[in-house]
Structure 1
Amino acid sequence: MLQPFGFTQYESKVYEALISVNEPLDATGIVKRSGIPRSKVYEVLQRMSEKGMILESTVDKKRQYTALPIESTIDKLKSDFEANVEHLRNVPITEAPSDDRVWTLKDDQSIQAVQKEMIQGAKDSIIISGWADDLRVHLPILEQFDRNGGQVEIHTIGELDTSIANVSILVPNSMHQTLERSRTLIIDNQEMIFAGIEQNAWQAIQTQSRPLVTFFKEFFYHDVALTEITKKYSDTILEDPSIRELLLKLRY
C-alpha cells in the first residue's frame, strides 16, 4: 500500500494492519495481522511513529497503536512530496562545461521530461521532429519560444495545427509502411537528443558532441527535404518503381 511512496515492505504492512481494523492494536496484534517478525515489529513501529504515520497510546501499561486516517495520510504524503520537490528544485547546480560524451536514457516519461527541460533552456534555436501526437505535448512551449523571437523548425509525421510557420508535414499513407516512431531535438545547435523504440520500449541518446549534433541536424534537413520533394513531385517520382521503392525504405 505505501511502498510506492518510499516506505519499506514492513512499514507498509504495519500501516495496512492498523488501517484495516476499527480499534487500536498492540504489538502482538500487529504481528498477527501483518506477518512481520516479532523481532522487527518494535523497530518498524518506531520508524512509523517518527514519520508521523501512526498514533501511540499507553492503556493499562500496554502500548497501543492506530493508523493515521486515510485522508490525513493522503494530505501528509502530498505535503511531503511537494516539500521534497521544492528541496530538489533548490539544490545548487554548478554550471557544467561542454560535455561530448554520449548518454543513454530509457523510459518514455524520463525522455519526455528531458526534452521539456532542454526546450525550456533554449536560447536561440530549436529543431525538433517526431510524430504529431508526441510533438503536441511540447507545442505550447515551442509556440511561446517562437513568439518571443526564437527560431523553431519542426518536421512532423501527421498533421499538426500550430502558429509556428516553419513546419514540414509528412502525412503517411499506405506506402509508408517502414515508418518508425522517433524523436529528434536539437537545441541552439549545441545539444541534441534522439529517441526511438527498441524492443517495444523507448530509448534515447543525448549529447553535446559537435559531430553528432551536426549529423542529426543534417539528418533533420534530410527528412525535411525528402518530405517536400516527395510532396511537390510525387506524381513524377512515384511513377518510377525503383525510385519509389528506394524512397520508401528511408526513415523519413
Structure 2
Amino acid sequence: MTAPDGVVAQLQELGMSMYEAKAYLALVAAGEPLNGYEVAKRSGVPRSTVYETLGKLTASGATYEVRTDDDTVTYLPLPPASLLDRLRRRYESTLGSLRAALPAIVPPSRVHLIHNLTGRDALLERAGDVVAGARHDLFLSTWPQENVDLEQLVREADARGVAVTTLTYGEDEEIPGHTYSHRLSPPAVVLENLGCRLFVAVADRRECVIGGFVGDDAWGIFSDNPAVVMVAVEYVRHDIAMQLMAEHFPADEVAAFWTDDVDLARLRSDHGFAATALRAGGSDGESRPGGRRRRRGGRSA
C-alpha cells in the first residue's frame, strides 16, 4: 500500500523522516508483523535503507521488534492513537520548557516590525497568532467571512480572561465579549466605499494585523510598532463610538446627515482607495483622490 502523501507530510512535520513515515504507515496498514523486506516492498522505502529506518522508528518507540520462533525479526507499529498521544505529550512538554526559557534570553526589542502579508491564508494565520497571543485585551474589526476562521481562537481568548471588543459587519453573530454591529452604514455601502473588507486585530496594545479582503484574496501588514498599533486600536474604538452615537439620535436625522453633509461626502469620495492602497503595499500620497479644501466655516466668501 502506498502511503498518502498528505499523511506522510504531516508525520514529517511531527519529526519523522519521509522514509520513517512511509515505513510506519505500511506497518499500520498491514495489521500484522512485517519483516524488513516486506516493509520495503509495501512502503517504497529502498531495501538498502529500510533496516536503518526501522531501527530509528524502534529507537523512538514508534515501532516494536517482534522475534518469531525461527529468530526472524519482524516489526509492529505503535497504534496511531497512542503515537499521537505520545507526540502531543512530548511537544507540550518541550513547548512548556521553551515558553519558560526563551523570554529569558531575548534582549529588549530595538527594532519594531512592520511586514507585509499577501494572501488570505497568510493574513488569517498571522491574525490567529495575534489573537492567540492576547493576554489582556483584544480589539477586532471583522466581517462574517473572517469571523468563521477566527471564532474558536477568539472564544479561547475570552475563556482565558481576555477582554474582547469586536466591531462586526455581520448580523446577530455570537461573538464573545463586547460586540457591536456596524449599523451606521450598511455593510454593502462600507464595502463600496473601501473596496474591500477592512480587517483589524490588535492584542494587548502591543501588536496588530491590518488588512483587506476581496473575495478569496487579501493583503495587509503585521506590526508591533507602537504608532501603528495605537492607530489600529483607535480606529476600532472610534468606529464603535460612531455606532453608539448614531443609536442615540433619530434614524432619519442620522441618515440625512450621513448622505447630505458636504464634508462627509468629500471624505467618502475616494471609493475603493483603501483596497488599492493595501494591494499596492501603501501609497506615497500623490495619487490620492480628492483635493484639499478648507473646513466648513473656514471657507472664504
How high is the TM-score relative to the length of structure 1?
0.71
Q: 1:96 to 1:142 in 2, by over 3 A?
A: farther
| Equivalent residue in structure 1 for 2:170, among 158, 170, 189 | 158
Counterpart of 1:191 in structure 2 is 207
Larger strand percent? 1
Q: Aligned partners of 2:138, 2:41: CA distance in 1, in Å? A: 60
User: CA 1:26–1:104 in 2, change beyond 3 Å: closer, same or farther?
Assistant: same
Instruction: Identify the residue that residue 3 of structure 2 maps to in structure 1.
Output: none
Alignment of 1:216-227 (within 5 A): 216-221=232-237, 223-224=239-240
Is structure 2 residue 55 aligned with structure 1 residue 46? Answer: yes
Report the counterpart of residue 142 of structure 2 in structure 1. 130
**Counterpart residue identity of residue 90, structure 2:** A
- The within-5 A match list for 1:56-205 is 56-59=65-68, 60-68=70-78, 72-91=79-98, 92=101, 93-94=103-104, 97-98=108-109, 99-104=111-116, 106=122, 108-118=124-134, 120=135, 122=136, 126-131=138-143, 134=147, 137=152, 138=154, 141-142=157-158, 144-146=161-163, 153-159=165-171, 160=173, 167=180, 169-170=182-183, 172-178=186-192, 180-197=196-213, 200=216, 205=221
Structure-2 change in CA distance of 1:56 and 1:101 (3 Å): same
**TM-score, structure 2 normalization:** 0.62
Counterpart in 1 of 2:265?
243
Gaps of 5+ in 2: 1-6, 276-301
Q: How many residue pairs are counted as aligned between the two chains? A: 240
Matches of 2:267 and 2:211, distance apart in 1: 26
Identity %: 22
Supply the RMSD in Å over aligned alpha carbons. 4.0
* Shift in Å, 1:141: 4.1
Partner of 1:194: helix, strand, or coil?
A: strand
Task: Report deviation, 1:19.
Answer: 2.9
Describe the shift of the 1:97–1:198 C-alpha distance in structure 2 as closer, same or farther (beyond 3 A). Answer: farther
> Going by fraction, where is helix more abundant, 1 or 2?
2
Cα distance in 1 for residues equivalent to 2:32 and 2:177: 62
Unaligned runs of 5+ in 1: 147-151
Change (3 A) 1:183 1:115: farther
One-letter identity of the residue aligned with 2:38:
G
2:255 paired residue number: 234
